Each structure stands twice: as C-alpha cells, then as structure tokens.
Structure 1
Amino acid sequence: MMPGNPALAMFAKFQGQLNPAALHALELEFGFSKQPLILQYLTYLKNLVTLHWGLSYTYYPTPVTTVIAHSLPWTIGLVGAATVIAVIIGTLLGIYIAWRRNGFLDSTLPVTTMFLQAMPYFWTGTMLLFLFAFLYHVFPLGHAYSSTVTPGWNGPFIGSVIGHAILPAITVFLGSVSGWIIGMRNNMINTLGEDYVVFAEAKGVSNWRLMTSYAARNAILPQVTSFALAMGLIVSGSILTEEVFSYPGIGFQLTNGVLSQDLPLIQSAFLIIAVAVLVVNLLVDILYSRLDPRVRTGGGTH
C-alpha cells in the first residue's frame, strides 16, 4: 500500500532506457498487480504453500528461497553449535556450583558471566575482532571462509570455515552461557531442598547418584523448556554478531533486506523463524513427556 515499488526504483537506475512494457513486465515479476487486494492476498497464500516466495530485490533475479537456502546452513552451523555448547557447559557448571554452593566458583562464576552477558553483542564481537584478528592476526577479520579456498567437502575449506567461525561463536557463547549457569544453579538449589532428596540422602545414597539421578534430573526440566525457545530462535541467527563479522547467515540477510526494503526476503525470513519456533516447541513437548512421566499422566496418580 506504500507508494512506489522496487520496479520503479530499478527502472530509475536505467534513466528511462527501459520502455513501459519492460517496466510492466518487471512489476508483474515482482508480484505488483492491479488486482483487488483480496485476490492479491489469496495469490500470496497460494505462493506461500507452493514455495513460490518471489524474487529478492537485493539479489535480483535470485529467488528468495535460494537466498534462504544458502544462508540457513551458516546460521544453524554457527549459532546452533555455539548455543548447544553454551547449554551443555552452562548446565554442567550450574549443577556443580549448586552442589558446591557458597564455594569459590559459586561466588565468582555467576557474577563474571553476567558481566560478560551484559556487554552488547556488537561490542564483544568488535573487541574480539580488534584483538585477535586486526591486532594479532590469529583469526580472520570476517566472512564465512577464505576466498582462496574452493567450497566443498575438502580439508582446506572445512578448516577455513572453522577458523572463520571461532570468533563469532565465542561472541554468541559469552552472551548466553550466563543464563544457563544461573538458571540451572537456581533450579538445583530448589530441588536439593525437596523432601525426596533429603530422604534419599538420609538413606545413604551416594553423592554422585544424589546429584545426578535425584537432583539434576528434575532440576533440568525447566532448562529443556528454555532450550526449546533458544533452539527455535537459532534460525533467526544472531543478527548483531553476523553483521559485525559479515557472516552470511539469516540474520545478516535480514539486515540487508531491511536496509534494501526487500519485502519478500523479510517476509520469508520471518516465516522461517516462526515455523522453526513452533516445530521445535512441539518436539520439546514430546521430549518433556519422556523426561517427566507426570506430564503424560496429568500430574495425578494411577
């Protein structure tokens, strides 16, 4: 409903060299028509189901599905791996410091990680780039891999991808690990005060079994729910991190789409993000019922 369209903007770049018929053909290719709005919406829904999501204005004439297909694996590989590592390490550290509460790690680790998490992603990424890429040349400055290697399942390419992903992965890790540590610590402390844990301790259950089988197994359930939300949002990428490191993921493409008013790319990216969140939450609901039998029985006794 906004005035103008990308076809007119592209037409202006040619300074009037395109004839009106070419402009009309370009408008139709972009999906701009004079049909009633309800018909346009029905056409949009049809194209949505059939995966005809239009052409990207930024990468014209590349289809949006191609842009997303090329960007999504980079985001899942980078942000997904960093998030999973942060969840595993944060959960294990949370279990340990709760078991050894009031110790040295319990007094220092949550505060330190909260301080790191409070730093903006773009500041942390910029500092890492300045120190380890620009100043000491330990890691590359940006992008997903070096332009001197040939993409494929070969050693040089895989090594280049890993090298380029280390700094952005550290940025994502530092920005999220604190929440997993503190969340698991608080859950563990609450669980350790439950009657069944005290009773098991009085019966002489070993400390290792008490910590893992009795306390941690029940304390980890809220972590699973949080992990579901985190996994669903992985698809959106870490926009600031990908922007700082020029990493070609969904977040980077979404930023370019907003700056270029690339409406099909923006719509498709948000659709992928929404579907990913719904699917992951469904899978975690199924997993939750396996971890906690009370969910399957409705909390009652049978």
Structure 2
Amino acid sequence: MNFVVRKLLFYAVAVWAAITLNFAIPRLLPGNPVDILLAKLQARGASVTPESRAAYAALLGGESDDPILVQYWDYLVNLVQGDLGTSVTYFPTNVTEVISTSMPWTIMLVGIATVIAAVLGVGLGAIVGWKPGTWLDSAVPATTILAAVPYFWLALVLVYFLSRVLGWFPAQGGYDVVLDPGFNAPFVESAIRYGFLPALTIVLASLGGWLLGMRNMMVSTLSEDYVLTARAKGLPERTIMRNYAARNAVLPSIAGFAISLGFVVSGSVVTEQVFSYPGIGSKLLSAVQNNDYALMQGIFLYITLAVLGANLVVDLLYGLIDPRIRAKA
C-alpha cells in the first residue's frame, strides 16, 4: 500500500507541474497570440483597428491586467469546469468540444492499432527469442525494415495497392458521409472499413520495433540463473518460457507500451493527414497552421495527462509483475 500511495503522490505532483507549465509557457513567450494574429492580418493587407484588436482579444480569452497568481487561479477554475477557451480554427466552438468530438476517432484507430502491434510484436518476439538462430529469427530483420519506412510513404503504398488498384478499402475519410453517425450497424461497419488502412499502416510500421525489442530481451534472459535453475528442476519448456523468461523480458516492453499508449491521444498526425481521418492529429495540425493557441494548448494538456496516466498504470502493474520493485519502494 505504501508503494501505491507514493506513486499516486508522485504523479499528483507531476500533473500539477504539467498544468502549471501549460499555463506559464504561453505567457513567457515574447508577445502574445493577439499580436501575432494581427501582425499576420496586417501582412496580408488588412487594416487593424482597436475594435478588431478587442474582438481578437475576447476571442482568445482576453488580455488580463490581473496579477499572475489571479490569472493562474482563474485558469485552474476554468480547467476544472472544462473551459479551455475558444478555438480560432473552429470558431465559435469551445476547445473542449473540438477535442471531445475528435478524440474517440483517434482512440479507436491509434489505440486499437497500437495494442494489436504491441501484442503481436511481444508475442512473436518471445517465441523467436526463445530459440535464437532458427529461420524465424533470421526473418526478424525483414520486419524492422518496415519500422524504418516513413509513415506517409507506407500509407501511400497501401492506398495505391489496396484502394486504387484492388478497390478493397476506401482511400480517405473516417466513414461514409451519407450515413448518420451513431452506434448502428451500417455506421460501425463503414467506420471499420474506412479505418482499416490507417490502422494497418500503424501496425506494420510499429510491429518490427516491438518484435525486435522483445526478441533481444528474451535472448538475454536465457543465460539468467533463474532460467537455468528452472531447467535443472525439469520444468516444461513452455512453463519456463512463459513464467520465467517472458515474464522478466517483457518489463521493458511494458514501459514502452505505456509511453506509446499515452501518445495515442496525440494521434498519428501524418497518417491521419494522408487518409483525411477525423482524429485529434488532424486537429493538432490545423491548430498549428492557423496559430490556434487555445486549441494547441488544450491538445498538449490532454497529451501530457494521457502520458502521465498511462505511466501511472504501468508503474502500478510493474509492482504486481515484479515483487522486487515493491520491496525496493
């Protein structure tokens, strides 16, 4: 219990630090979003009046003359209420609403694809690493080649062959626009068909890394004393692989999985852009292109909290998988 409490306290401080940095960084930058937007308007020949400046200031949350601590308190209150400001790109929609409408698409696409890639890669890596030198082991470098291929190139290749040439899957979009979004069979089937190519891109691009990492860890555990002792006791090979070698070799992969799962919130920006997928990655790209500081700040906050939350869950799982960690804590 002491281990769990200490972890919760540590991550509570980390969340507070992340929220504080998210508040402070925009205010520490030279200038402010209003000045930057107005400067771009002037560069394009538009006239800037005091009224237009006041309108942009109100749009971006206002320019407060209150002390910094008062602004910080107001920021925390708005954060608790779910108010992250108004998006310039999708005006007059609130940032929270923009994120909430695109977040499920990214979680379903990138989240499921990441889980599939991790499970397949770790499982295959454990099997390959248990018996190094076989023909399966010699095929591992072929999978790592895909990990070195840029996302967008692999996505374009899949679109050309599976969509343009064979016509098996749609090339772009998240669902058939003639359907009404909702939990009904036609819409779910359409969403699966439209999401197959982006998901396949993510799985193929990341599978090799999971496989190679688990394979190398399995090879290193074969010479450990606990594996040799288990073999000396005459335990079945499958039991030794599952309960002794794989259980210890998988620990680094679990840490990597936590980081990958946390970054699911940010989405795969390039993949979503290639497939015109309505996820959070495309929203982040639009926010950067339009200097939408409120939306960028909100998405970055969600990404940070997701990474911290995923790492907290994995830290707690570490304690269950490896009792030595609880003992040290």
TM-score (norm 1): 0.90
On the 8 A contact 1:8/1:23 being kept in 2, the answer is no
Displacement of 1:99 in angstroms is 1.6
Q: Who is 2:198 aligned against?
A: 168
Q: How does 1:19-98 map to 2 (within 5 A)?
A: 24-25=54-55, 27-33=57-63, 35=65, 38=68, 40=71, 43-98=74-129
Is 2:59–2:88's contact at 8 Å kept on the other side of the alignment? no
Gaps of 5+ in 2: 1-30
Deviations along 1:97-131, one digit per CA (max 9) or x if unpaired, are 112210111001x2111111111001111111122
Alignment partner of 1:289 is 2:319: yes
Give the SS at the match of 1:234: coil
Distance change >3 Å, CA 42–CA 199, structure 1 → 2: closer
> Which residue number corresponds to residue 204 of structure 1?
234
Please, what is the CA RMSD of the aligned residues? 2.5
What displacement does 1:29 show?
Answer: 3.5
Name the aligned partner's letter for residue 131 of structure 1.
F
Separation in 1 of the partners of 2:42 and 2:65? 22
SS in 1 for 2:158: helix
Cα distance in 2 for partners of 1:96, 1:290 equals 23
- Measure the CA separation in 1 of the matches of 2:49 and 2:146: 57
Mapped partners of 1:174, 1:37: distance in 2: 51
Q: 1:156 aligns with which of 186, 201, 205?
A: 186
Contact in 2 for aligned 1:79/1:172 (Cα 8 Å): yes
| 1:252 alignment partner, one of 266, 275, 282 | 282
d(CA) in 2 for partners of 1:210, 1:129: 43
Report if aligned partners of 1:11, 1:23 keep a CA contact under 8 Å in 2: no
Q: TM-score, normalised by structure 2?
A: 0.83
- Cα distance in 1, alignment partners of residues 118 and 136 from structure 2: 18
1:124-135 alignment to 2 at 5 Å? Answer: 124-135=154-165
For the Cα contact (< 8 Å) 1:7–1:27, is it kept in 2?
no
Q: 2:173 aligns with which of 122, 128, 143?
A: 143
**What residue number does 2:138 align with?**
107
Higher relative contact order (CA 8 A, sep 6+): 2
Residues 1:192 and 2:222 are matched in the alignment: yes
Structure-2 residue corresponding to 1:178: 208
Unaligned runs of 5+ in 1: none
Which structure 2 residues correspond to residues 237-248 of structure 1 after superposition, within 5 A? 237-248=267-278
Contact kept? 1:7, 1:30, Cα under 8 Å: no
Give how far 1:136 is off. Answer: 2.2
Cα drift, residue 250 of structure 1: 1.1
- Residue 35 of structure 1 and its aligned partner are, at CA, apart by 2.2
Which residue does 2:247 correspond to in 1? 217
Report the CA distance between 1:135 and its aligned residue: 2.4
Q: Deviations over 1:130-186 (max 9, x none)?
A: 221122221111111011211111111000000011100011011111111111111
Which AA in structure 2 matches 1:297? A
Contact preservation (8 Å) 2:125, 2:211: yes
Secondary structure at the residue paired with 1:198? helix
1:26/1:259 CA distance change after superposition, 3 Å = closer
SS of structure 2 residue aligned to 1:201: helix
What's the counterpart of residue 10 of structure 2? Answer: none
What are the superposed Cα offsets for residues 234-258 of structure 1, whole Å, 9 maximum, x if unpaired? Answer: 1111111111111111111100110
1:218, CA displacement in angstroms?
1.3
State the partner residue of 2:22. Answer: none
Residues 142, 247 of structure 1: 8 Å contact kept:
yes
Distance 1:134 1:258 in 2: 31
Stretch of structure 1 that moved more, 49-58 or 158-167: 49-58
Counting matched residue pairs gives 296
| CA–CA separation in structure 1 for the residues paired with 2:307 and 2:158 | 30
Q: Matched residues in 2 for 1:137 and 1:255: separation?
A: 29
8 Å CA contact 2:60–2:294 kept in 1: the answer is: no
